[in-house]
Chains A and B, each alone.
Chain A
Amino acid sequence: MKFTNKYVFLASLCGVMIFTANSGYADEAAWKNSYQLEATGKYIDAIKAIEQTPTTSFDAELKFLRQGWLYYLMGSYDESIRDYRLAIERNKNSVDARLGVTLPLLVLKRWREAEQNARGALSISPNSYTALLRLAIALEGQHDWANLEKTAAIMVAVYPSDATSFVYLARAYAWLNKKNEAVSAYAAVLTRYPGHLEAKAYLEKK
């Protein structure tokens, strides 16, 4: 009986070790190290700290998200896009991944794909401020003033205290030659952000 209990105990211990390895608890130190290295600007080392995370593990998605962010911080935008896309493949409902990939796409002026991903994030999380803002930037990059007006109109309706939303609305109105509406929108910017340079410059010209 003692002999049997000993082997049952050893088998159980092995099972616990396997479970904890797959659950990521054994990697807590690696993740902590990665966050600390990021805080000191050592982005490539922060990536290396978590690169042993198995692609089959529960935390693989988080690893791709984190690598996407760190590569973006390093200016390695193509690598960043690759990792965010891997995160999207793993989890099509990930707002994090769809918003994350818009960052390197916008830097590269890949406006259309940035627009696609921002809209994808909004289909999962309607009225997300970050998604609306990234969509507005992508539409402005394409000079799509009509759709920028629509997007900014949603932003100011849902976030009426936000100055940036009114800035994008004002820009759309200005480019669409809706001068009175542009004046009103830029005036709204100044009540939310007194001294806003762009708003003051436009209103001083009128």
Chain B
Amino acid sequence: MKNILNLLKNISFVTSLILLSHIALASPLYLNIAASATKGIYVNSQLRSNFVENEVTISNEYLDDGGLLVGYGQTFVGMKDTSFNITQQHRFASGRINFWPDILEGRLTLRLDGHKINNNDFTSDTDGVIIGAPQISWLANDTSLYIDLGYANSKYHNNLNVNQFTSTIGFGFNRNIDWIQLRSYQIRGLNSARASGKSSTSGLDAKWTHYFLTSASFIPSVVTMGAWVGERIYAVDMDSMSVANLADLGIASASLLLSWELRHWANFTVLAGKSRFRDVALVNDYTLNLAYINFTLKW
């Protein structure tokens, strides 16, 4: 009872101080700024040694209605022959708008991404890449089911035009504390001379996300395990806003992501991943081990 009385006294004092300031209308605009860094080590690759990537994104959202994101990234790929090291700049933007038509009983989102990539690839094969990627998605009102259809068209120099079709289904279970996402990648129209002998590739990306309902600060709020099976090349990943313009044929991958909600306005994320690639021309299968960190601030 004494604790409750003290609690009430403290609350009354604090309330009188904060009442007016707290009731003020919040801004309808929400701003996010994120910075990330990735470090990768190639194992058993005949051509590549390592890579480093740094990226900054700024996004602005209007209430729950949609928003715009712009980003800039710099990548350095260290080659075994250092005279062929690659330095790359990646500029990208994403806009989305949400609708809630009653007939769909969920949220419909229209999204359009754009990418522009420039690097010092002396062949210019991976330089000057322009990508447009629209996506339409639907999330049920109770957030138990998600579907999307995506398309990406990537224009490369030297006779390479990549068409990517993605279809995704996501569903929740265990009261939506767990979430499974399955995304199919169908990449078509490849110039086989520029695509490890492939005219098309198919593969499946799977992710399992678990949300921890705990206030313990050392336990992450989100854990995601991901895996890839199949083949893909020149893939555009709309979840990570990344483009695999420098990669060989991807044949498998696995990743583990941990994210902490440090405060309502700050998130910290780490990811560790391992990917297998195949350089068909050199008959060289190799592995990329990577570590990624991201820090996001929200207003």
Whether B15 lies near A175 (C-beta < 8 A) is: no
Interface residues of A in 74-91 (CB under 8 A from B): 75-79, 81
Q: Which of B21-29, B87-95, B155-163, B273-281 interfaces with chain A?
A: B21-29
In Å, the complex CA distance between A108 and B22 comes to: 25
B83 within 8 A of A: no
Whether A154 lies near B26 (C-beta < 8 A) is: no
B7 within 8 A of A: yes
- Contacting A143 at CB < 8 Å: which of B4, B19, B22, B264? B264
Given A110-B63, A175-B215: A153 and B4 within 8 A (CB)?
A: no
In Å, the complex CA distance between A147 and B22 comes to: 8
Given A110-B64, A115-B26, A122-B23: A187 and B18 within 8 A (CB)?
A: no
In Å, the complex CA distance between A191 and B1 comes to: 10
- Contacting A188 at CB < 8 Å: which of B7, B18, B64? B7
Q: Using CB atoms, name the residue of chain B closest to A169.
A: B11
In Å, the complex CA distance between A174 and B214 comes to: 9
Whether B28 lies near A123 (C-beta < 8 A) is: no
Interface residues of B in 260-277 (CB under 8 A from A): 261, 263-264
Q: Which of B100-108, B197-205, B241-249 interfaces with chain A?
A: B100-108
Whether B63 lies near A116 (C-beta < 8 A) is: yes
- Contacting A185 at CB < 8 Å: which of B7, B23, B216? B7
Whether A78 lies near B102 (C-beta < 8 A) is: yes
Given A76-B102, A122-B23: A142 and B264 within 8 A (CB)?
A: yes
Interface residues on chain A, number (Cβ under 8 Å): 47
Interface residues of A in 110-158 (CB under 8 A from B): 110-113, 115-116, 119-120, 122-123, 126, 142-147, 150-151, 153-154, 156-158
Whether A119 lies near B25 (C-beta < 8 A) is: yes
Given A145-B264, A153-B14, A181-B7: A77 and B215 within 8 A (CB)?
A: no
Interface residues of B in 1-53 (CB under 8 A from A): 3-4, 7-8, 11-12, 14-15, 18-19, 22-26, 28, 30
A55 within 8 A of B: no
In Å, the complex CA distance between A147 and B26 comes to: 11
B217 within 8 A of A: yes
Chain A residues, Cβ within 8 Å of B15: 153-154, 157-158
Interface residues on chain B, number (Cβ under 8 Å): 32
Whether B8 lies near A109 (C-beta < 8 A) is: no
In Å, the complex CA distance between A142 and B61 comes to: 14
In Å, the complex CA distance between A112 and B19 comes to: 20
Q: Chain A nearest CB: distance from B172 CB in Å?
A: 13
Chain B residues, Cβ within 8 Å of A157: 8, 11-12, 15
Q: Chain A nearest CB: distance from B49 CB in Å?
A: 42
Chain B residues, Cβ within 8 Å of A156: 8, 11
In Å, the complex CA distance between A173 and B11 comes to: 13
A184 within 8 A of B: yes
Whether A112 lies near B11 (C-beta < 8 A) is: no
Whether B22 lies near A154 (C-beta < 8 A) is: yes
A201 within 8 A of B: no
Chain A residues, Cβ within 8 Å of B4: 184, 187-188, 191
A4 within 8 A of B: no
In Å, the complex CA distance between A145 and B264 comes to: 7
Q: Chain A nearest CB: distance from B200 CB in Å?
A: 39
Query: What 15 additional pairs, Cβ within 8 angstroms, besides A153-B18, A154-B18, A183-B3?
Result: A77-B141, A112-B30, A113-B28, A115-B26, A116-B25, A123-B23, A123-B24, A147-B22, A153-B14, A153-B15, A154-B19, A169-B11, A180-B3, A184-B3, A187-B4
Closest 9 CB pairs of A and B: A157-B15, A110-B64, A112-B63, A113-B63, A76-B102, A184-B3, A78-B102, A144-B264, A184-B7
Residues of chain A having any CB pair with chain B under 8 Å: 75-79, 81, 107-113, 115-116, 119-120, 122-123, 126, 142-147, 150-151, 153-154, 156-158, 160, 169, 174-177, 180-181, 183-185, 187-188, 191
Residues of chain B having any CB pair with chain A under 8 Å: 3-4, 7-8, 11-12, 14-15, 18-19, 22-26, 28, 30, 63-65, 100-102, 107, 141, 143, 215-217, 261, 263-264
Q: List 16 A-B contacts (CB under 8 A).
A: A76-B102, A77-B141, A108-B100, A108-B141, A112-B28, A112-B63, A113-B28, A113-B63, A122-B23, A123-B24, A123-B25, A126-B19, A145-B264, A153-B14, A157-B15, A187-B4
